[in-house]
Structure 1
Amino acid sequence: MNNREHARQARRTLPRPLHIAAWLTFAAAQAAVAQTSTQDSGATSAAPKTPQAAAASGTAGKDQALPAVKVSASQVADSPLNLSTPVNSGALGTRSQLDTPFSTTVVTGENLAERQVYKLGDVFAGDASVTNNSNAYNAWATYITIRGLPVDWQNGFRIDGNPFISYGITMPYEQLERVELLKGLGGFMYGFAQPGGLVNYVTKRPEKDPVTSLDVGYRMDGVLSTHVDLSRRFGPDDMFGARLNYTKEAGKTYNAGDINRNSVSLALDGQLTRDLQVWFNALYQTIRTSGQTPAIYTGSYTASSLPAVISGGSNLLGGTDQHINTNLQLYTAGVRYQLTPDWSFATSGSYSKSARDRNESTLTLLNQQGDYTDARWNGDEAHQDIYWQGMFEGKVKTGPFTHQLVIGGAYQHQTNNYALNSIYTVLGNGNLYQPNPWRFYSGGGLETYRTSDITQASAFVSDTMQITSRWAVLAGLRYTNYSQNNYATTGEKTSQYSQNGVLTPTFALMYKLEPNTTLYASYVEALEQGAIVDSIYANGGAMLRPLRSRQYEIGIKSEHERWSATAALFRIERGAAYANADNVYVQDGNSIYEGVEAAGSVRLGRSWQVAGSVTLLDTWYAKGQSYNGNRVAGAPTFVAAGRVTYDVPYVQGLQLAADAKFTGSTQVRPANNLETGGYMVVNVGANYFTRIGGHDVTLRAAIDNITNRRYWMFQYSDYIAPGDPRTVSLNAKIDF
């Protein structure tokens, strides 16, 4: 059977969206093979492997039959763990992953583009400590758990180090330079926050060289996107820089819904003098989606096992009447001044605003046959964050010791507005395996009122003392004044909580086994703000006190030219909060998380890159009146992830990839009487890099969940969701 017959056979046997992926891969391979054949027979030298060499070849080699190509492996580091990458560590300043005595993960923008991610769980698909708890295109799209703990949607997300309210917000991943993840407690580094971890989105900045690129994409069932990226430096000695990114995305989603997204980000900087740098960043995004998959609530469910699994791509659970429309705005400006060769001062301020208009169902599961009650909620919500931070960083010597000091302060004022006349109504009953018969359309634009405001003012100091060339000790302390006010619809204050002088310390001991290997032991404390109980519980509206957490961690990080590895052993102690048998949401006792995580990557020969990650987790409730000894809800005992990439020999520029992630069974409720089953999701992709008409061109194809595996995933305590279906994504990018 020849190549064309193979292609025709693929068209007959694959579903329609896969036709496009098959044809793209077939066309890319054919073009690559033809090009390689031409080069082998007539070219006088091998094709260049670096972008610079490829560009030179495109200019000088006009008499070649076909343009040169570049190999993808030359564009990425041999170590995808990115341990040398600087990460924002809040009160610790900026330091590399290798020198940070906590477990961290960095995912680069190139990796995001290669895998064509479109929700937060996919960003960290290669990290076994992160569990995906979300469907795309709905209000839960940023829900993940880290080491079995949820990320705080009010305090656990930042953009370029600046806080914003993330609930319902899907970031424009194509406009990001990288995504940073701090696992575990961030209380010393960032202030009040739940102990799951912190996600920092780093937007693209002006580069030394000009950037002009355009890419177009497709995602099944009919979402089309266009993205433009422009970067320039100008002025005397290129002292000013500007970078603009714009994305337009619209079409039909896989669950028969609609999406319309417009995202724009702008980054400006200026090196005004040798020592003085200024910057301004802005991000503006609007997203309108309909037809999202509803959340499924199991609090009233009495069976011991879940109903038969449905596909997350099903349109049976809702219609286009359900929607979430979001708006995100972030503006930040800063100044950095190099006071002396060893000391600098940086200060920045930001204003962020996020708003949501939601019309969504919660399906209360009734029995194992899949019957449910559909309750609809419709309302508007808005949040604002004003943030300022000033920080001195420098070095001093005391006798034989060198001290790396960070001294600073921060102020954050957050306001939360919710709908004054939100609508909550029970529509009626339905079944998971039949079309939802209920519709409730709403126009949005509901009036909101101030429900709460939260103020944090803090001062912090840290000292990393270099004792010898190998040994270093870190000590840090944050001092925080915290206040929270809650208001009635009339504007009257209904309750208040304040606590001054909250101390959250951290300590670490670090030892350099060799320059590229760090062994560390660390301790950190954190305090998280008290929750306002959801209305589904008997004590809905009650305000709970803040919870204190502690974390102990021992780890090792090592990065080398062709391999890298990390490992950590940890214990987290957190105050427990859950719904008891009377459906009262209470704080009772502790939840304990103990585990070990390990990750590694190695390049085998010239063509293979293999990476893997594994997490073993033991959790239990302790010292409470209920559920002592039970596993903590939402914490799987075992997760493993792996990725393999292959640079195809004799086909320069063609890279194939496959990754898989297995998530073990997870308890849905603290009572441990209901759990999801374990499941594995497999993704594949292909990237082809070439030059056409003197321009770099990148073709990408990705298939997520290629086996179309159906599974229930834990979403939040007492909530589950069906996993996303098989999804095909295509993208073509040209650099001018």
Structure 2
Amino acid sequence: MPAVPSLRLRPLFRFGLVLTLSTSPLFVSSSWAASDERRTYEVPAGTLGAALTRFAGLAGVNLSVDPALVSGHNSSGLSGTFAVQEGFTRLLQGSGLQWVPVGDQAYTLMPMAHDSDSLQLPSTSILGAEGGGQGDVFAGGQVARRGSQGLLGSRDFMETPFSMTTYTSEAVKNLQARTLGDLIGSDPSVRATNPAGGRYEQFTIRGFSLFNSDVAYNGLYGILPTYTIDMEMADRVDILKGPSQLINGISPRGSVGGGINVVPKRATDQPITEFTGSYASDSQVGGAVDIGRRFGDEDQFGVRFNGVKQSGDTEWDHQSVDREMAVLGLDFRGERLRLSTDIGHTERITDAPQERVQVGPKAKVPDANDVRHNYAEPWSRAHTKDTFGAVNAEYDVNDSVMVYGAAGARKSNHDFLRHAVSVTNDAGDFNVQPRDFTRDENVRTAMAGVRNWFHTGAVSHEVNLAASYFYMDFTNGGARYATSPSNLYRPVETPRPGTPTRLDPEVYTESRYSGVALADTLGFFDDRLLLTVGARWQRVKVDDWNNDVKGKTGYDEEKISPSGGILFKATDKLSLYANYMEGLSQGKIAPSVSVNEDEIFPPFISRQIEAGAKYDTGPFAITASVFRIRQPAYETNATTQVFGPNGKRQNLGAEVSVFGEPLQGFRLLGGVMYIDSKLTDTLDGAYDGNRAPATPEYNVNLGAEWDVPAVPGLTLTGRGLYSSSQYLDQANTKEIDAWERFDVGARYAFKVDEKAVTLRASVENVMGKRYWSSAGASDDSEPGLTLSTPRTYLLSATVGF
């Protein structure tokens, strides 16, 4: 790139055309658009040209510039109160450009003095949050404007042809979310399908299962802990709805309803030193530290550490949770090179963890209101340990090409002493069969890619080419013990297991996924129309051994999956979009409750069609979409207890979400999802037309926050959740009722000796209702009832030093 003298303007009229980035009249009253007058602006992230257009129009000033200067540059937008010149400075930060006054309320752009030595690519970093400016957070602070989209980089939600919500660390803290399960209660498209006091967390998105192993860490699958993910490590959490194989590749467990990506914390430009003390009823007490610093002549080196220790009893009988987490993040920000690495360790011990309640063919659905004690035996236990790490790198080859790569690994050891809860009759009787279950996992994953920005005539291009590789092996083993009777309503304390009655076979499984993806986002009409087309070649290879004898159900298959999306910016506030996404997913694995336990089934293909609209008013936003997702259906036969495919299922649905601050000091976060989920092509047509199991017709979430005007720093909070009834089986003979839950809370922020202090208090399930919150995961192998979270009191105090 040739050097540009600091005092030489590029010819503004060399093409005989001046691009005027203002919607205001040529002459504007200086009393209305004075450069030092501060006004509130909401400018969405996007191309630099589009951002400047909106800002100049809102400010009532003229801006003229050579189109080549802003071509290929993006902006993170602007949100807040600024003077005109201050606003221009914020929007141009890092672009290598500066504003220059050329008349009364008229400006132009020119390169900075050292533009030749400092390159700035569009804001598509894969390295995680950087504690960015105000423009990265939507009004209200609960949702971020930009979200990570794997192959396609980081994009503003108004320029994304998908349905996606990105929750901020501020939302995590104010919800007092300890795990991912605590956070997803804000999203109507997501539901937890395992008890909050259970061995592990599992979710559904748009009615399809999502396992923790399918939650990405800065774009890499399989790095995060398998069973429970602590939220203190997260700066942002991206929730993408719909199959995401094009942008993220195949996930370890084949989730198709959507994806979740946890973005790690990075040291911000301002030092961070925070301590949070916490309490959760019945007697869980803990503390967390968050420390961040930047070093170097230009603050190019960053260090961020987060640590947690919490232990004590929960609201359930003889249940306790002891958890520890430590995550260290390091990063380097150079002119062309950006590096980061994260190293983490988590450990969790849960005594008497609850299981899903399975309902036998001769038993009715139990009455949740009569389940008043913990039905897990006091000797049952879940002990999980996960050590993980990742390295990410980006390098700007020039002002239009960036290469990037990442690699990660995880080693996990899991030890469970558990028992299933399978009710056999209307009285609630079940047999306790203790099982000692161990699982050891090793994961190695890597990806690399190149991103290129260029123009062909009036059409802009962002071409992405990426390759990925994922490897995981795991070993399952254990033993079974003699059974003892118990009851769901009147639990019986049985003896601690002694001598095993049977040793389980040692099952060893290796999974390898590889893929290459190519995508091009074409921009027409100054990027008002964005068309993304692409495809991903994927290969799935799975092998298994049973007591060192190679299994017969392994496979090696490959497929090319096309996907695409289109987005039209009808106005600066309204975006319309549609997409088609197709993906290959790993086949299901038969569960422990089936007679063909651990049998691996072939991969399957899922397909989604979606259309929607996004309306950004500035203070708040509304998104709406309709979608259809199809994939094979699986079940464990009630008579034979054999797990396998049985027909297909189609989820036809609609979503509406709202977030932001529609009134000063009043924030909203929530929405509604409707799903019509039908079974087709079942064996002999027995269940054709039935509703798919574990899929409520409606989910509704609405959270609100109100800053009390009379007491500065005091905020009152409330949240309501609702799910309609669900079937437990494909025959639609067993059903759980609709349910609702209400949470209330408050927080108070103030200063003591210049130290920022925030006190938080909340009550989950304030009405103390008992209900079945889920009938299991609709498309996985273990149907069962999830008992509601009991009334739980949460307290915390955060002090910033």
Verify same fold: TM over 0.5. yes
Change (3 A) 1:416 1:353: same
Alignment of structure 1 residues 148-187 onto 2, 5 Å: 148-154=207-213, 156-164=214-222, 169-187=227-245
Q: Does 1:556 align with 2:640?
A: no
Report the equivalent of 1:90: 150
Query: Which residue in the other structure is 1:43 paired with?
Result: none
Structure 2: how far apart are the matches of 1:75 and 1:657? 24
Deviations 1:17-36 (A, max 9, x none): xxxxxxxxxxxxxxxxxxxx
| Superimposed CA distance per residue, residues 330-377 of structure 1 (whole angstroms, 9 cap, x where no aligned partner) | 111122101111211111111112221111121111122222222222
Instruction: Give the 5 Å matches for 1:185-584.
Output: 185-192=243-250, 193-255=254-316, 256-271=318-333, 273-298=334-359, 300-310=360-370, 314-419=372-477, 422-441=478-497, 451-469=508-526, 470-490=528-548, 492=550, 494-500=552-558, 502-580=559-637, 581-584=639-642
Distance 1:447 1:594, change over 3 A: closer
Q: 1:712 aligns with which of 772, 775, 779?
A: 772
Check whether the contact 2:141–2:170 (CA below 8 A) recurs between aligned residues. no
Query: Aligned equivalents of 1:706 and 1:402: distance in 2?
Result: 53
Relative to the length of structure 1, the TM-score reads: 0.85
- Whether the 8 Å CA contact 1:120–1:143 is kept in 2: the answer is no
Q: Aligned partners of 1:289 and 1:654: how far apart in 2?
A: 35
Map of 2:693 onto structure 1:
633
CA distance in structure 2 between the partners assigned to 1:74 and 1:531 by the alignment: 42
Aligned in 2, Cα 1:498/1:652: closer, same or farther, shift over 3 Å? Answer: same
- What is the aligned-residue RMSD (CA, Å)? 2.4
In structure 2, C-alpha distance between the alignment counterparts of 1:75 and 1:550, rounded to whole Å: 32
Structure 2 counterpart of 1:676, one-letter code: I
Shift, 1:229, TM fit:
0.9
Amino acid at match of 2:400: D
Q: 1:684 to 1:615 in 2, by over 3 A?
A: same
Query: Residues of 2 paired with 1:561 and 1:577: CA distance?
Result: 44
Secondary structure of 2:712's match?
A: coil
Out of 202, 206, 212, the residue aligned to residue 147 of structure 1 is 206
Alpha-carbon displacement from aligned partner over 1:76-119 (angstroms, at most 9, x marks no partner):
7425673622x221222222222221111222111111111234
Q: 2:470 is aligned with what amino acid? A: Q
Distance, in Å, in 1 between the alignment partners of 2:550 and 2:682 is: 35
C-alpha distance in structure 2 between counterparts of 1:355 and 1:610, whole Å: 41
Alpha-carbon shift at residue 607 of structure 1 (Å): 3.1
Could you list the per-position Cα deviations for residues 101-156 of structure 1 after superposition, in whole angstroms to 9, with x for gaps in the alignment? 1111222111111111234333121221112222224223x2111111111444x2
Mapped to 1, the partners of 2:587 and 2:136 lie a distance apart of 46
- Are 1:703 and 2:763 matched, yes or no? yes
Q: After the TM superposition, which of the residue ranges 103-112 and 536-545 deviates more from structure 2?
A: 536-545
Cα shift at 1:539? 2.9
Q: CA separation in 1, counterparts of 2:499 and 2:220? A: 32
Structure 2: which 5+ residue stretches go unaligned? 1-79, 81-133
Letter of the 2:330 counterpart? L
Structure-2 separation of matches of 1:448 and 1:516: 59
Structure 1: tracts of 5 or more residues without a match: 1-49, 51-72
Equivalent residue of 2:437, what SS? strand
SS of the residue corresponding to residue 91 of structure 1 reads helix
Q: Secondary structure at the match of 1:121?
A: helix
Q: Could you tell me how far apart the structure 1 residues matched to 2:454 and 2:494 are?
A: 68
> Structure 1 residues 691 and 77, CA, compared in 2 at 3 Å: closer, same or farther?
farther
Distance 1:122 1:334, change over 3 A: closer
Q: In the TM superposition, what is the alpha-carbon distance from 1:698 to its structure 2 partner?
A: 0.5
Cα separation, 1, equivalents of 2:196 and 2:279: 15
After TM superposition, give the deviation of residue 416 of structure 1 in Å: 1.3
Deviation at 1:688, TM superposition (A): 0.4
Deviation of the 1:75 alpha carbon: 13
Higher deviation after alignment, 215-224 or 427-436: 427-436
2:792 is aligned to 727
User: 1:603 Cα deviation (Å)?
Assistant: 3.1
CA distance in 1, matches of 2:594, 2:507: 22
In structure 2, do the counterparts of structure 1 residues 321 and 682 end up closer, same or farther at CA, with 3 Å as the change threshold? Answer: same
Query: Residue 317 of structure 1 aligns to a residue in which SS?
Result: coil
Cα deviations by residue, 1:365-402 (Å, 9 ceiling, x for unpaired): 11222222222221110212111111111212122211
* DSSP-derived class of the 2:185 partner: coil
- The Cα offsets for residues 175-219 of structure 1, whole Å up to 9 and x where unpaired, read as 211211111211222223221221111221111111011110100
Look up the SS of the partner of 2:143 in the other structure: coil
Cα 1:423–1:166, aligned 2, differ >3 Å: closer, same or farther?
farther
User: C-alpha distance in 2, partners of 1:171/1:91?
Assistant: 24
Q: CA deviation at 1:558?
A: 2.4
The separation in 1 between residues aligned to 2:420 and 2:194, in whole angstroms, is 15
C-alpha spacing 1:305/1:285, structure 2 compared with 1 (3 Å): closer
Q: C-alpha distance in 1, partners of 2:362/2:158?
A: 48
Q: Secondary structure at the match of 1:162?
A: coil
Shift of 1:437: 2.4
Contact 1:504/1:527 (8 A) holds in 2: yes
What amino acid is the match of 1:123? Answer: L
Mean CA deviation greater in 302-311 or 223-232 = 302-311
SS of 1:188's equivalent in the other structure is helix
Paired residue secondary structure (1:221): coil
Q: Distance in 2 between matches of 1:215 and 1:583?
A: 48
> How has the CA–CA distance of structure 1 residues 442 and 330 changed in structure 2, closer, same or farther, with 3 Å as cutoff?
farther
Written as runs of structure 1 = structure 2, the 5 A alignment for 1:677-688 is 677-688=737-748
Whole-Å Cα distance in 1 between the matches of residues 224 and 378 of structure 2?
A: 24
SS in 1 for 2:174: helix
Q: Give the structure 2 partner of residue 39 of structure 1.
A: none
Q: 1:598 aligns with which of 656, 662, 667?
A: 656
2:161 to 96, 101, 104: 101
After TM superposition, give the deviation of residue 513 of structure 1 in Å: 1.4
**Partner SS state of residue 670, structure 2:** strand
Between stretches 690-699 and 425-434, larger displacement belongs to 425-434
More displaced 10-residue stretch of structure 1: 240-249 or 428-437 = 428-437
Residues 347/611 of structure 1: CA separation in 2 closer, same or farther (3 Å cut) = closer
Q: Distance in 1 between matches of 2:498 and 2:751?
A: 50
Residues 1:388 and 1:450: Cα distance change in structure 2 (over 3 Å): farther
8 A Cα contact 1:270 1:278, kept in partner: yes
